[in-house]
Amino acid sequence: MNKLLLNKETTYLIDKMAVDEGVSLSDLMETAGKKSAKIIIKEIVPKIKNFNKKIYVICGPGNNGGDGFVVAKYLKEEGISIRVLSLNSKKELNNVVMQKLKDLDTELENIGEISFSEADLVVDAIFGVGINRPVSKNYVKVFREINKESKLIVSLDIPSGVDTNTGLLMPEAIKADHTITFVYPKLGHYLLPAKKYVGNVHVVDIGIPTSVTSKIENGYMFHLNSPDYWISDFKWPTADDHKYKRGHVLVQSGPESSTGAARLAAISALRIGAGAVTLSSSREALNVNATHLTSVMIKEINNSKEFFNFIDQKKINSLIIGPGCGVNKFTKELTLNALNYKISLILDADAISSFGEESEDFIKALECSKADVIITPHEGEFNKIFGNLKGSKVERTKSAAIKSKSTVILKGNDTVIASSDGEVIISDKTSPFLATAGSGDVLSGICGGLTAQGMKSFKAACAAQWIHSSIGLITGPGLIAEDMVSIIKDDIPDILMRIYTK
């Protein structure tokens, strides 16, 4: 299944292309409204306790409002008592939308002092995907009343007040329990803060010809992260594999006082399928690392020369630098030298922070790098490297990846992954419980393990983020760094088996 995420421009383009193919705007609106009403009746209403057959449909002046009129018509045909409300007059409706109101044959009421608490369900058909400026104070007042008083809210296409491309609120929005969206989901459904406003997302087919969707899907650059996107590149073991054919990962440990992060990364790399993992450890940290590790090999390495000699001797496939390494000249030196190797390279945490005010040097080194690089910053680290790039999280991550010629994972509850050629993936379901120390080290380890086995950086980053997110969804509240080793042991095999048997 091709899980595209549309921006507003592509949404309008699809409608135009469909009309050019002979499908009328009226027919698209009719199908959208009919399918939405069906979801409300078949999937949403049955879960409402003590349903009294009262639904309010709030319609705006544009095509989203027309969808709402059609929804109201089909709900009315099911014997549901409806009220159709608006802040706009009939004079503001275009001809197609006006006809849908006439087909409904119900009075269009002014919202006025309506009590939304009297309805079992409120349908939000005020603004669709096209909103591009702050809404008026009158609409803000209505949004607040709907959010405060309604028992259940269903938005059509996207909650009113949400910017489709950025996920920002303009400046407030309807907070829906369900969003019924058309053709494909939208970027704004999965970006914060809007992600908290969409509820359950239902996607419906509204009769767009396959000749149109196939043209859109070919080479489209925004997708939702799912195994369907990267599973064909996933490297499962084969009968003739041996451990070094499955890839060898080298992880740089921190000093004696901060070894845990690198161990988490190393164990994660091994558990995800790397054939061998070695932890590079200074003499001072050797004993503490050895005490905690069995399957991961340990090599005493005390300087940069020894580090890269070991890479050459052992034919390392993937390097992980950053977790717990310390913000210092040694970490910076390892990072810069590693960028000159033709190798998979994961740079996280201290590998990023060690450049401090010299971020331009880091970016220039990335631009000239021979390595296949994944960098995994959180928002603060991202801003240190790339400065205050303008635009949405999607636009900033995409610009950073193109500029640095790297795969960038901008972490968060709405993680965005971008490739050096501008392709963008956004995380689907994510867990707030992953916002804990040690979580990012596991992500780096998974990235390193997958790239060592032969996955290219972008697909590996997407797979790693999905697997990492799945761990968080399984574990839930109370997750802390000390739990990570047992979580890796217990959960990663189950997650891999789930996608292996898919």
Sign of CA dihedral 471, 472, 476, 481: positive
**What ranges do the domains of the chain cover?**
8-219, 227-500
Rounded to 10°, the helix 359-367/329-338 angle is 20
Three-class SS of 345-395? EEECCHHHHCCCCCHHHHHHHHHCCCCEEEECCCHHHHHHHHCCCCCCHHH
- CATH topology agreement for domains 8-219 and 227-500: no
**Whether the predicted pLDDT of 487 surpasses 90:** no
CB 244 within 8 A of CB 276: yes
Q: CA 408, CA 427: separation in Å to the nearest integer?
A: 13
Rounded to whole angstroms, the maximal C-alpha distance in the chain is 82
- Of 177-181, 198-202, 386-390, 474-478, least confident by mean pLDDT is 474-478
Amino acid at 461: A
> Is the pLDDT confidence value at 413 over 60?
yes
Q: Quick one: tokens of 118?
A: 């009297």
The pLDDT assigned to 44 comes to: 98
- Confidence (pLDDT) at 476: 81
Say what the pLDDT of residue 20 is. 97
Tokens linked to 254 = 């921190």
Architecture category of domain 227-500 in CATH: 3-Layer(aba) Sandwich (3.40)
Percent of the chain's residues with pLDDT above 90: 87
Task: Check residues 431 and 373 and name the one with the higher pLDDT.
Answer: 373
User: Span 395-424, mean pLDDT?
Assistant: 97
| Per-residue model confidence (pLDDT) at position 243 | 87
Residue 501 confidence class, pLDDT cut points 50, 70, 90: low
Contact 207, 183 (CB under 8 A): no
> Which two structure tokens, joined as six digits, stand for 409?
């994972």
Asked if residue 237 has pLDDT above 70, the reply is yes
Tokens found for residue 270: 């091994």
The pLDDT value recorded for residue 146 is 97
> Does pLDDT of 80 surpass 90?
yes
pLDDT tops 70 at residue 193: yes
| Stretch 158-163: mean pLDDT | 98
Q: Answer yes or no: CATH 3.40.50.10260 is held by domain 8-219.
A: yes
Q: What is the model's pLDDT at position 112?
A: 83
- 333-355: average pLDDT: 97
Instruction: Residue 326: name the closest of 259, 263, 248 by CA.
Output: 259
CA 430 to chain centre: 8
Helix or strand or coil: residue 218? coil
Average pLDDT over residues 474-498: 84
Q: Rg of the chain over CA atoms, in angstroms?
A: 26
Smallest CA-to-CA distance from 317 within 348, 279, 366, 276 is with 276
Q: pLDDT by residue (tens digit) across 91-127?
A: 999 999 999 999 999 999 999 888 999 999 999 999 9
% the chain with pLDDT above 70: 99
pLDDT value at position 419?
98
Distance of alpha carbon 112 from alpha carbon 124, whole angstroms: 16
Instruction: Write down the mean pLDDT value for the chain.
Output: 95
Determine the pLDDT at residue 2.
61
- pTM assigned to the model: 0.95
Q: Is 33 left (phi over 0), alpha (psi -120 to 50) or beta?
A: alpha
pLDDT at 1 over 80: no
Q: What is the pLDDT of residue 341?
A: 96
| Range with lowest mean pLDDT among 17-21, 75-79, 131-135, 471-475 | 471-475
Mean pLDDT of 326-334: 96
Predicted pLDDT of residue 31: 98
Amino acid identity at 468: H
Alpha-helix residue ranges (DSSP H) falling in 150-220: 210-217
Confidence (pLDDT) at 239: 87
Q: What is the pLDDT of residues 284-310, one digit of tens each?
A: 999 999 999 999 999 999 999 999 999
- Over residues 209-217, the mean pLDDT reads 96
